[in-house]
Chain A
Amino acid sequence: MTLKKDNALLDIQSDLESLANLALEQMDLLKTIINSAEMEISKDVLKQIEKNEKDIDKKEVKLSNKIVNTIVLYQPVASDLRRIIASYRIILNLERISDLVVSITNYYKKIETPDAFSKMLDLINNMTATSTEMVRKALLSFINNDKEYAIWTIKNDIVFDEYNHKLLKKIFAKIDTTECDKQLLVSIIHIKEIMSNIERIADHSTNIAEAAIYSIEGKDIRHHKLDN
């Protein structure tokens, strides 16, 4: 029974890592889009994002079923149980991260005033890079049973929230607001949506980090402040 259970758990871990790699690839592709400063997204990049999204959706369903089967068949307890529950929480968050990447690319395509976007480019670049790093570290925390990466991610989420709040003010400071341009307003809305979606990616990375801590220590720290 233990051998079959252990193999099932290793199988889930392997599938989760595969799903995680796809989600990280989505984030890297997003970084490529934003770094390029081009308003036109390369067709190859778009195609890859869409393909990854479909793969992630399929893997999420397959992995969810594997997790349910493992619980039913092997009734894991203690650290095995925590790991499997954490895995389940993580795959849901990874699927949402991929959805958000697709959503960001859709808003990106709708920006009609490149000039407005280019003024925010550095800031959005930083946000994207930070959120990508948060996702990466949260996942590493779970895969390597390393609490420190999880804590780093959770602490950065607080910084990220402030970052996003300040950016909104800067949008209006940097853009000439005497210009009452419908196109500009629409672009600003889309830029704001891009930023909000990046912030949500950061939130999901925090969820992954919290799941990692639950797996490692058995503590559910959701909705709790982290002690400094």
Chain B
Amino acid sequence: MINTIAEIKNPILSIRDLSVAYDKNYAVKSVSVDIKKNAVTAIMGPSGCGKSTMLRALNRMHELYENITTTGEVLLNNENIFDMPAIKLRRQMGMVFQRPNPFPTMSIYDNVVAGYNLNGIRVKKSEKDDIVERSLRDVALWDEVKDSLVKKGSFLSGGQQQRLCIARALAFNPDVILLDEPTSALDPIATSKIEDLLVKLKENYTIVMVTHNMGQAARISDYSLFLYLGELVEYGKTKNMFTTPKDPRTEQYLTGKFG
């Protein structure tokens, strides 16, 4: 693995020897990397290289499946994520998926505070109101929906739905937001709005994003990871990786020789 960054001081996430296997077939092989706080880190690579598998491992989603084993260590603010309750982890590390998935039977308001309601976390109405407004303002959706918070989330456009899902993740004021190809199902304008949003959000959150779209990674990420066949091949500042990649495999991927 080529790491072109000398050292990340006080990383928010420290990943050491992370491996994920589906029935003993390794999809992620011994990945070690530090993720910088308040930055956008893009995980890139060809289809099937383990990007989404790695991201889901950070959220401990693989624990739902018996045939998937995860090994290694992931420290979030110096605490091992595999030692903490999953609910606590998911408050600190929110996740947004490729297809916008607001809960179809819930209102916009209830979608934002779904995490609290579904986990039986009691919060005063006034606090909930504040959480909803703050989260929707953070995703630039408040002005568009403030007069229709009782409407179902599914009535929103694709881009608005995705922003609602991000707001839902933000409701717990997480440290990290994980996004798995968050714009691949959206039109170009909605994509552009989400990209602008992510750049703005990094002021207060750390963003880790899987993307197939190299242009997107180049436009909005500060750091890039290149995965190939489950291995971390190269990690560095996006601008350096995109102009002078060090590993020939990175060079070939970026110049379209494979992928």
Kindly identify which residue among A78, A217, A218 contacts B254, using a CB–CB cutoff of 8 Å.
A78
Query: Is B122 close to A, CB under 8 A?
Result: no
Q: A2, A5, A78: which contacts B243 (Cβ < 8 A)?
A: A78
Instruction: Judge whether A78 and B215 touch: CB under 8 Å.
Output: no
Q: Which of A79-87, A115-123, A158-166 contacts B (4 or more CB under 8 A)?
A: A79-87
Inter-subunit contact A78/B244 (CB<8 Å): yes
Interface of A is mostly: helix
**Known interface pairs A1-B256, A2-B257. Does A77 touch B218 (Cβ–Cβ under 8 Å)?**
yes
Let me know if A218 and B244 touch, CB within 8 A: yes
From residue B238, how far is it (CB to closest CB) to chain A in Å? 10
The answer to whether B100 has its CB under 8 Å from any CB of chain A is no
Residue of B whose beta carbon sits closest to that of A81: B243
* Whole-angstrom CA separation of A76 from B242 in the bound complex: 9
Decide if A75 is an interface residue (CB 8 Å cutoff). yes
- A133-166 interface bits toward B, Cβ cutoff 8 Å, 1 = contact, 0 = none: 0000000000000000000000000000000000
Decide: B244 and A77 in contact? CB cutoff 8 A. Answer: no
Q: Please give the distance in Å from A220's CB to the nearest CB on chain B.
A: 10
Docked Cα-Cα span, A81 to B218, in Å, equals 13
Q: Which of B214, B218, B243, B257 contacts A218 (CB 8 A)?
A: B243
Set of chain A residues within 8 Å of B251, measured between Cβ atoms: 78-79
CB-CB contacts below 8 Å: B32-72 with A: none
Give chain B interface residues in 229-256, CB to chain A under 8 Å.
242-245, 250-251, 254-256
Please, which residues of chain A bring their CB within 8 A of the CB of B250?
Answer: 78
Q: Mark A184-199, 1 if CB is under 8 A from B, else 0.
A: 0000000000000000
Q: Which residue of A is nearest B241, CB measured?
A: A78
Which residues of chain B have C-beta atoms less than 8 A from A75's C-beta?
Answer: 215, 218
Q: How far is A99 from B256 in the complex, measured between Cα atoms in Å?
A: 39
* Chain B positions within 8 Å of A79 at CB level: 251, 255
- What string of 1s and 0s marks CB contacts (under 8 Å) between A1-31 and chain B? 1100100000000000000000000000000
Q: How far is the CA of A79 from the CA of B256 in the complex (A)?
A: 11
Whole-angstrom distance between the alpha carbons of A218 and B255 in the complex?
Answer: 15
Nearest-Cβ distance from residue B237 to partner chain A, whole angstroms: 13
CA of A217 to CA of B242, assembled, Å: 13
Interface positions of B from 68 to 124, Cβ below 8 Å from A: none
Q: 1/0 contact trace for B178-217 toward A, CB 8 Å? A: 0000000000000000000000000000000000001100
Q: Which residues of chain B come closer than 8 Å to A81, judged between CB atoms?
A: 242-243
B242 adjacent to A77 (CB under 8 Å): yes
Please measure, in the bound complex, the distance between the C-alpha atom of A217 and the C-alpha atom of B244, giving whole angstroms.
Answer: 8
- On chain B, the residues within 8 Å of A80 by CB distance are 255
- When distances are taken between beta carbons in the complex, the residues of chain A under 8 Å from B215 are 75
Residues 74-102 of chain A, each 1 if its beta carbon lies under 8 Å from chain B, else 0: 01111111100000000000000000000
> How far apart sit A203 and B218, CA to CA, in the bound complex (Å)?
35
CA distance A86 to B46 in the complex (A): 29
Are A5 and B244 within 8 A (Cβ)? no
6 intermolecular pairs with C-beta atoms under 8 Å apart: A2-B257, A77-B218, A77-B243, A77-B255, A78-B242, A79-B251
Chain B residues close to A by CB (< 8 Å): 214-215, 218, 242-245, 250-251, 254-257
Q: Given contacts A81-B242, A81-B243, could you give 16 more A-B pairs where the C-beta distance is less than 8 Å?
A: A2-B255, A2-B257, A77-B218, A77-B243, A77-B254, A77-B255, A78-B244, A78-B251, A78-B254, A78-B255, A79-B251, A79-B255, A80-B255, A82-B244, A217-B244, A218-B243
